[in-house]
Every structure is written in structure tokens, then in C-alpha cells.
Amino acid sequence: MQTFEQYLRENLPKTDTFHPVYEKALGEMLLAGGKRFRPMLLLRVVEAYEPLLVESAFVPALALECFHTYSLIHDDLPAMDDSPLRRGKSTLHKTYDEATAILAGDALNTHAFLLLSYAAFREDIRIKLVEILAYNGGTEGMVLGQAIDLYFENTPLTIAQVKQLHTKKTAMLIAASLQMGAVIVGLDKSIQDALYGFGIGLGLLFQIQDDIIDETQSSEEAGKVTGNDSEKNSFITLLGLKESMAQADALAAELEERFHAFDARLQGALEPLMQEYLYRHR
């Protein structure tokens, strides 16, 4: 069976153009790798209940990875974090120029919805997948979180506000990944809601862990510039390393307990990801 990574590499965005670098720029950050965490969450949920649908689910999984990669390209722009390194590679505005990076991000954003539009599922499922990604990635979700993050640089927020910021910026897209998998296999709304709530907690944990990694790892180890969040409202900035570690431990333990309330099929499918990521801050 083809792996998702193989599928991604064989299905990079293609164009019919004489532009010398546009198509290469579209695929550059996708090919740079990354954890593929969001598509893996979606695919594991599908695998738990409908393994025969996994290859069909590669299309929405790729849509998630395109959308997430667009957000990273834009996050690294000079107007935002001005980062020269992502996934261990030079960022697009450094490799090419700022305009190329902006347009590549724009293209991957819209390409995600094109992919969802022709996924091999019923029309109502395709529409629901579009809705979930648009809601959690757009006005009320990731984009709002990024706006809050940038606007309040050098302005300390409360811990409750920081949790809201990172729920929007990071957690909602992770929660959406689980919900999209649940929609594909037709799980009851109560299970979809439980998975979405679990994903919000998982996304917050992911952010605390990223803040810890930013504080404790070199840029070479992390594959991106670290030690660069002193002006941002990170968990480290507000709580310090020791308390951030304690918060991560407590949230990981809570998520582990919630995880074991899921049925055996879902636990079995998600277990490898939980083992890899729940305590990655340690």
C-alpha cells in the first residue's frame, strides 16, 4: 500500500507556466518534510473504522498539509516572524523573494480547498470537510490567532488570553484534523465532539511543547530558529521553563486519561502518535 509520504511527493501542485521558479516554490516546503502530524491524525481516525478508505483519505490529508504549510510560509515572512529557517531548510522568502513566498502561500491555501472539492466522497461530506477547514483555519481560527499573536508582541497577556491565542493559532487546526477523519467515516456527532475537544487539548499541549523546544533546543536540533520568542506571549515568557514543563506534564496526563476513554479501535490507531507526541517535551 502506498504511504501518505509517497502520495504527497507524487501529487505536488502542478502548473502549466513558463515561470522559472513558481512550481518549484509551491512544492519546496512540502518536500522539506515536517511531522505530518495533522494529516496523520486524520488518516489514523479513518484507519480505525474504515481502513479501505485510507487511500481515498490521502486527498483531504494532503489538503491539511498544504494548508498547514501555507501558514508556515506566511508565518516566516518578514512582516510576521521574519525567520530564515523552517523544517531545516531556508525559508521561501530567503531562497527566492518575499513576493514569491507570499504567492506560494496563497496558492497552497487555495489548493487545499481545490483538493477537498474533488475528494472521492459524497458531496455532503466534501462540503463538511471544506466547512471544517475554513472555520478552524480562517476568520475564527488560525488566522485570528496569528493576528492576536502579532498585535500583542511586547504587550504581556494573561495566561487565559495566551491559551485563547494558541487555541486559535495552533489547537483548532489540530482538532479539525481529528474531526475531518471522523466525518469521513461517519462517526456520531458525540464522538466527533469528543475528538474535537481532545484535539483542542492536544493542540495546546503541542504549543507548550513547542515553546519548551524553542527554549531548550538549538536551531539545528529544532529545524527552525529558536530562542526568538522573548517578545512574544509564549508559555515560557509568562510562566518560565519549570512551570511550563509542569503545565505540559499535567495536560499530557489529562489527555492520556481522556484518550483511554475512546473505544479500542480508535485507541489502537492513535496510540503510536500518542506515544510519540504526548511527552515529547521530556
C-alpha cell at 125: 461530506
User: 156 and 238 in contact (C-beta within 8 Å)?
Assistant: yes
Assigned C-alpha cell, 190: 458525540
Per the structure, the count of domains in the chain is 1
In this structure, is residue 282 part of a structural domain? Answer: no
pLDDT in tens, the chain (282 residues): 799 999 999 999 999 999 999 999 999 999 999 999 999 999 999 999 999 999 999 999 999 999 999 999 999 999 999 999 999 899 999 999 999 999 999 999 999 999 999 999 999 999 999 999 999 999 999 999 999 999 999 899 999 999 999 999 999 999 999 999 999 999 999 999 999 999 999 999 999 999 999 899 877 766 666 666 667 889 999 999 999 999 999 999 999 999 999 999 999 999 999 999 999 988
In a domain, 23, yes or no: yes
In degrees and rounded to multiples of 5, residue 262 shows phi and psi of -75, 160
The span from the CA of 216 to the CA of 30, in Å, is: 26
pLDDT in tens, 101-120: 999 999 999 999 999 999 99
Q: Which domain holds residue 192?
A: 4-277
pTM of this structure: 0.94
The whole-angstrom separation of Cα 144 and Cα 236 is 21
Assigned domain for 180 exists: yes
**Residue 29 is part of a domain; what is its CATH number?**
1.10.600.10
DSSP codes, 79-107: TTT--SEETTEE-HHHHS-HHHHHHHHHH
